[in-house]
Every structure is written in C-alpha cells, then in structure tokens.
Amino acid sequence: MSYREVDYDYDDEGGLIDPVKLLTVCFALGVWLVWQRYHSLLNRAIYFKLAPPIQIRDTWTANRLPQPSIEAHLTFNDLLPSFPLPDRKYITAYDPATAYHLDTILADSPAEIEHKILEAHRAQKRWAATSFDDRRRVMRSLKKWLVDNQEVCAKMACRDTGKTMLDAALGEIITTCSKLDWLINHGERALSPESRYNNLIMFYKSSSVHYEPLGVVAAITSWNYPLHNAWSPIIAGLFAGNSVVLKCSEHVIWSTTWFVQAIKECLKACGHDEQLVQLVCCYPDDAEAVTKSHLVRHITFIGSERVGRLVAQAATEHLTPVTLELGGKDPAIILPSTDIEKWISLLMRGVYQNAGQNCIGIERILVHESQYEEFFRLFTERADKLRPGHSLKSPGDSVAPAADVGAMVSGERFPGLEHAIHEAVDMGAVLSVGGEPWHHPYLEQGSYFKPTVLGEVNPECSVAQHELFAPIACIMKYETIEQAIEIANGTRYGLGASVFGPVRDDCMKVAKRLQCGMVAINDFGVFYVSQDLPFGGTKYSGYGRFGGPEGLRALTNTKAIVVDRWGWAIQTSIPAVLDYPVRSVTQSWEFISGMVGFLYADAWGTRIDALTKMMRASGR
C-alpha cells in the first residue's frame, strides 16, 4: 500500500507548542506559586502555648467557702496572702457551682490602672501602622489556639461561672470562633476605604471614606460569658488598629486573666507588643479610672442598665463615645397553628441556656389561646426533667456529673427572684415547676436555682417587666396578633426577639413591628452567631452596635477625604463675582441664585433660564 506525500504534513503547522509560549506560561505559573507560598507563610497561624491552671484538673480540690462571696476574704483572713498589702483591695475568686476557693487576687489601684492605659497608648502607635495581613495572622493564630484548646477554655469558663460544658461550648467557643472567622475573612473589607457618590456640583471631585484607628479603646464587660466577653471586644479593637483596655466583671477575674494572657502570648509569638492588651482588675468603684481617662477614645459596655448609666455619665468627662448593651426582656411569639412540638426544644434552649443568664435569652413566651394549654403542659413536662448541677469532675467522682442547667454566678439575687415569683403568683400566675433555690446533695454552697415555669403570667407583673437573668420561663396567653405585639413591645427593653409560625410572610410582618434591634424567625439567638450582623438594641436596652461592619467601624475614626478627579484639568476656583471683597451684593446674589436654579430646578427650561441668569451676573 502506498501513501501520497500530501498525506504528510512536513510544515509542522500547529504540531508542536511554541517554546516561547511554554516558557512564558511556566514562568507565570512559577511566579504565581511563589506568591501564593509567600502569602500562605505570611498568613499562617503562629503556634504558641499557655499552661492551663491546676484548678481545672480532675484531681484538684480546695477549701469550700462557707459563705461564698467575692469579698469572703474580709470575713475569712486565711483567704488572704501571707503578707497582704495594707490599704489595698482584694477579690476572692471562687467556683459558684462548688464554692471552691480559686484564688484571692489583688485589685488594681487607680494609679496602676492609669499606668496600664498609658502602656496601651504607647504600644498602639506602632500597631496602628501594621497591615491587615499582620492583624489577620494574629486572628488566625488565636483561632487555631482556641480550637486546639477548646476543652481547656470551656473548663475555665465552667470553673469560674458554674455553667455546664455544653453551655460553654455554645456560648463561649462557637461564638468566639465565629467572630474570629468573620474578622479573618471580612474584616479588611469592612475597614477598607470606600468610594462615595458625588452630585453635579462636585462632578470633578473624587470622594472616599476612610476608617482609621482611634488609639486606646476600652471594654467593660459582664460575667456571663467570660471568654467571649473578653475576647470579642479585644479582637475587634485589635483588628481595627487599636490597643484595648478590658475591665471585666470582678466575678470572673480569675478566668479572664488566663484568657487575656493567651492573647498576650499570641501577640508576642507574632512579633508584636503584648502591652497592646491590658486587663484591669478592680471593683466598680474604681472603674472611673477607665471611663474618665482622656486616653480612652471609645468604651464598649455590656452589663446592667444602672451601671451603664454611670459609665455613660462618666464618659462625658472627655466626650468619649460609648456603645451600651444593657440586656433585654426578649419575647418569643408563637403564632397560631405553629407546630409546637417541632420548636419546643429551641424554646427550652432559649430559656434555660447558661441558667438563663443570657442577654438575648427568651424571657417571655407568648402563646395563642388555642394552643396555650398544650404548650404549657409540654413545656412543664420538659422543664421538670432538667437536672441542675455542675460539669467538672471533683475528686471522688467516678464520672463527670450529668447536668442540664448549671449554677448561677451568685446566690445574692435569689431572694429577689423568689419575691418576684411570689408576686406573679399573687397576681394570678400558675407556678408549675421550680420557683426556689435548689440544694445540691453534697455541694451545699453551690448557687443553684431550680428551672422554673410560670404560666398565665400577667404582663404587668414584675417577672414580665424586668429582666430576670435566671432559669425562669414566663408563659403568657394572647387572643389576637395585635395583642401579642402589644405585649411584646410593652416593656422598657428592646434587645432581641423570636417569632415562630408556619407561614414565613406572617412571621416577617410581626417581626417588622417589634421594637427591638434583632429578630430570629423560627429560631433563637442566631443573629449573634452570624457575626456579619450588628448586635444591639433600642429603648432601655442601650444604643450603638458591636458586631458586623457597623460594630467594627464604631472602633475607628470615620474620615471623609475629597480630592480632585482631574487636577491637571479642573480645580475649584472662586469666580470673580464671589471673590472677597465682594464687588456687588446684587450681582453676587444673582449669580448664586442662578447656580442653584441650574443645579437643582425640576424642569430643564428653568435650568436653562437659571444658567443664563448666572452667566449674565458673572459679566460674560
């Protein structure tokens, strides 16, 4: 068989890859890989370690305080150091679930607080010049450490507050990881300069908004979530380029000291100054050293309305801006025909998580009269099976204790809670479960309150009007949607809310009419897990927001900058008719009024007439 020459292609048209193109592609790929490698190394988490304290070990034991209190050392001198400093204050740290004495800690004096703020101020100047890559690396290192040490961190929170390990995982670990993740992935976008639109008179200008570090920012936080309440304002403040001074609740100074030290170790490992973060340990009486400091440029406060007012008042000394989160009385409205059994577990979690010590916990449940009896029965049955107790093993425990609801941080509020419950019963409420402190079989000094269910609650009684911050369910009956909305909006608070129902549009209609800062539909509290959302409320729940772009930008100085778009061609100049000294008041007014008409009149005919008037006044 023979083949013709035409069957062969000797010209090699397209037969081989052009070597120049191949080398170009390989070079570009190599450059890309080197850049990716460099970027990966630049952002890779840095390992650091921090030894856990012995107080969370299974074998650890200590003296039980017969009268647990942060001032127990004033009654029992053996709780003080061997050589206590004269005229200085101390704080007794203890486990409210067991009454174990954890430590007695020296409180900072006003002079020491001022020194800490000054140290933070000095460290911030260099930190403000860091790149977002530098800050992301710190956040990524903290997140890796937290995930790797989540059990230790949960035990720390349990030991200092008496909560359960599950509550610590949900309220401390997941929320903090979520915030770190958001800062890593979206923080730079929130703080990057933004272009803004110009109007016709400014067509030749380019406008932008820049978010610059403030300097030293402070946070004064509550005790209910010691890890998250400490880390959340610190990591936000650091990412915004600030240094941070944290004044935590004196009830959780033991665990917060360790949590803050972790951030300091991370900063050192990443090559930054650990003085960027300062922890203030003091009683509220000495907190004015923070709130009245001229170096503090922003304050975030999380706590009670009473203390929040004092903080806001003190901050006026130097007109320091304040974000206030003062708690709430969050309602959950269950619309008619809702599948109660489907959602009752979420409602139980909303009421009893963290022993009810949750600023966005469900404090009121509003049920339509057609489903009230069924709901009250199911909720009572579930609540009656809840087991109070603690999560950490003690010497002699063969297994970790089983508990659904942990201790409250202190038993000081128990008489007030009992009084409010009795008042509600006197006003017609039905007490089906709990209503009093719970006495642990062998931890007699533990601060436990029985999971409580109150039905037929009068909307005007104390338990329906004031934040309880306790494991107490207040179940209320309504006849119409209008009445439910009126009851839900009928308190001084306006933080969060939940709406449950079978039809999404109906839920949305109700949600939009609620006087609050956040609403979850067919859910509870998820607006906080999503850290891209602002967190905060209205009315007596405070003002300002933390979380999301709004909260991050609140920790910056918002600066508007306007520059010439085509400076080589056109810039602002003062027309001769308007220049000082003004040569003619009448002529200058004709010019300005003509310009206003040209720029802003509705009809084009009017604009043309105004332009003619302006040109005539200018002498052209």
Query: Known catalytic residues?
Result: 325, 359
Q: Identify which of 402, 399, 401, 409 has the alpha carbon closest to the alpha carbon of residue 354.
A: 409
Measured in whole angstroms, the distance separating CA 164 from the mean position of its chain's CA atoms is 21
DSSP 3-state percent helix, strand, coil across the chain (nearest 5): 45, 15, 40
Mutual orientation of helices 132-148 and 19-43 as an angle, nearest 10°?
60
Q: Check if the beta carbon of residue 429 is closer than 8 Å to that of residue 456.
A: yes
- Residues paired with residue 210 on neighbouring β-strands, in sequence order: 559
At a CB cut-off of 8 Å and minimum separation 6, what does 71 contact? 91, 92
| 284/298 Cα distance (integer angstroms) | 18
Q: Check if the beta carbon of residue 482 is closer than 8 Å to that of residue 507.
A: no
Structural element, H or E, at residue 93: strand 90-94
| 373/308 Cα distance (integer angstroms) | 39
Radius of gyration over every alpha carbon of the chain, rounded to an integer in angstroms? 31
Query: Longest C-alpha distance within the chain, in Å?
Result: 114
Q: Check if the beta carbon of residue 598 is closer than 8 Å to that of residue 607.
A: yes
Residue with tokens 């130097």: 318
Mutual orientation of helices 253-269 and 150-161 as an angle, nearest 10°?
150
| 256/278 Cα distance (integer angstroms) | 11
- What b/e string do you get for 328-360 counting C-beta neighbours within 10 Å, with b at 16 or more? bbbbbbbbbebebeebbebbbbbbbbbbbbbbb
At a CB cut-off of 8 Å and minimum separation 6, what does 207 contact? 195, 196, 197, 198, 560, 561, 562
Mutual orientation of helices 226-239 and 253-269 as an angle, nearest 10°?
30
C-beta atoms surrounding 325 within 10 Å: 26
